[in-house]
Amino acid sequence: MTGDVRRKNPILKTRQPTLPPALRSRVALGMTAGAAVGRLDLQQCDQCGTVQYPAREVCRNCLSGQLVWRPQDGLGTLLSETVSRASMELYFRERLPWRIGLVQLAAGPSVVAYVHAACPAAPAEVRVEVALDRAGMAVLVAMPRDAAATLAEDPHLHDMTCDPTHRKILVTDGKSDVGQAMVRALAAAGASQLWVGHAEPWKQPPGFAALADLPQVTLVPLDVTDGQSVTELAGVIGGKVDIVVNTADHHRTYGIAGRRGVETAQAEMDVNYFGLLRLAQSFGPALRGRAADGAAGAVAWVNILSIFAIANFPPHGTYSAAQAAALSLAQCLRAEMRPAGIRVINVFPGPVDEAWNQLVLPPKIAPKGLADAVVKALKATVEDVYPDPVARDWLERWRADPKTLERELMAASPSSAG
């Protein structure tokens, strides 16, 4: 054991993660679906136009069942407030007192919301935002309407964010364009320690060596295709990491008929799927064990995936398949991290402006733009990020009709591609 390892006091109680109540009806999960991408959605009746809260099976005004979830601006008036100083729930009892208020939304309904510390006393004009709490469920927060306030600035609401400021972060691959941009963005965001993984010592891409000049950065050997490499690094730093950002990626073009053999597809799976699995098995338990360490606790796991994960893009067919497998595994990881309050954030960029997307026509997202989107997501409370117009358009078309999107992607593919 090295001298700088912080040991827990064996006399003191070891804090276990506590979560707010997570039980929601199926209909109420519609608001959580919006919160996952940072959008305040409320039910609106297609018959009479009534906006309602809380969620119900039928319209409270006309009893129509034609209800749809629509984005709201959240503008309203804080009518009254109280401070809760007692609670039956352990999560809230450990964090008392809580400021809670009743807000009349301009859209119609009245909602009960947490009140940010920067909000003036009622009555006051506010903006209601939606956030994911530690249990991954949607909650409403009244924010000052005009002032630039964040959840991280309120000690009671800070738990909902994964702000990288003063955090210790592992970036799994610092040699790619995306990995290098991620390291620089996290350093600029105030990370206190950045471990940057690197494999294949013979490969020295432009910009990689300069990362070592950043004061927060420590370069560490990490090959996600080698279980021993992952396990050894986890044994050294696993108990210190607050956030894992998995930037490891193996991307090649073509589908089934465009190449012979399965070696390239195996390499894509080995990095994108099995690499994630190895990381999760080695670093996951340590993150869960540190989830209750207060301000220094582990908070998040970020996976850089691809929009190709939700629908196969035939010119990059086997890569799309590996991404789909990684997405499925990331959803399993999210379920296993949830009891500890660790947020798993999946990022789905469209084509990134890097070597293996050279033949993909613009628009393409720049690595820096992708990295900035990750920092923004960590400061917010989202768990799914679609950081560029291509990704968002792809998502909307997939939501509207997956089969139509499949046919469109087939039609857009060159006949020579796999």
pLDDT of residue 216: 96
- CA-nearest of 222, 164, 124 to 374 is 164
| Number of neighbouring beta carbons within 10 Å of residue 89 | 12
**Is pLDDT of 6 > 70?**
no
**CA 17/CA 13 separation, integer angstroms:** 13
What pLDDT, in 10s, does the model give residues 102-155?
A: 999 999 999 999 999 999 999 999 999 999 999 999 999 999 998 788 998 998
pLDDT band at 4 (very low <50, low <70, confident <90, very high): very low
| Number of neighbouring beta carbons within 10 Å of residue 340 | 21
**Is pLDDT of 7 > 60?**
no
**CA 265/CA 251 separation, integer angstroms:** 9
Cis amide prior to 120 (ω within 30 degrees): no
pLDDT band at 8 (very low <50, low <70, confident <90, very high): low
What pLDDT, in 10s, does the model give residues 65-79?
A: 999 999 999 999 999
pLDDT of residue 155: 87
Kindly state the percentage of the chain with pLDDT values over 70.
95
What pLDDT, in 10s, does the model give residues 315-324?
A: 999 999 999 9
The rounded Cα 331 to chain-centroid distance in angstroms is 11
**CA 108/CA 63 separation, integer angstroms:** 17
- Averaged over 29-36, what is the pLDDT? 96
- Averaged over 388-398, what is the pLDDT? 96
Q: What angle do CA 386, 393, 360 make, to 5 degrees?
A: 90
DSSP H or E stretch at residue 235:
helix 227-237
What pLDDT, in 10s, does the model give residues 313-357?
A: 999 999 999 999 999 999 999 999 999 999 999 999 999 998 888
pLDDT of residue 339: 93
Task: Provide the residue type at 31 as one letter.
Answer: M
What pLDDT, in 10s, does the model give residues 11-21?
A: 666 667 888 98
User: In the CATH scheme, what is the code of domain 168-412?
Assistant: 3.40.50.720
**CA 399/CA 368 separation, integer angstroms:** 28
DSSP H or E stretch at residue 110:
strand 110-115
What pLDDT, in 10s, does the model give residues 87-117?
A: 999 988 988 899 999 999 999 999 999 999 9
What pLDDT, in 10s, does the model give residues 270-316?
A: 999 999 999 999 999 999 998 887 777 889 999 999 999 999 999 99
User: DSSP labels for 389-411?
Assistant: HHHHHHHHHHHH-HHHHHHHHHH
**Is pLDDT of 209 > 50?**
yes
| Number of neighbouring beta carbons within 10 Å of residue 388 | 22
| Number of neighbouring beta carbons within 10 Å of residue 286 | 17
Kindly state the percentage of the chain with pLDDT values over 90.
79
The answer to whether 380 and 418 have CB atoms below 8 angstroms apart is no
- Strand ranges, E, within 272-409: 300-304, 343-347, 384-385
DSSP H or E stretch at residue 51:
strand 51-52
**CA 184/CA 207 separation, integer angstroms:** 11
**CA 150/CA 127 separation, integer angstroms:** 12
Angle at which helix 317-337 crosses helix 263-272, to 10 degrees, equals 20
Task: Map out the domains of the chain as residue ranges.
Answer: 29-160, 168-412
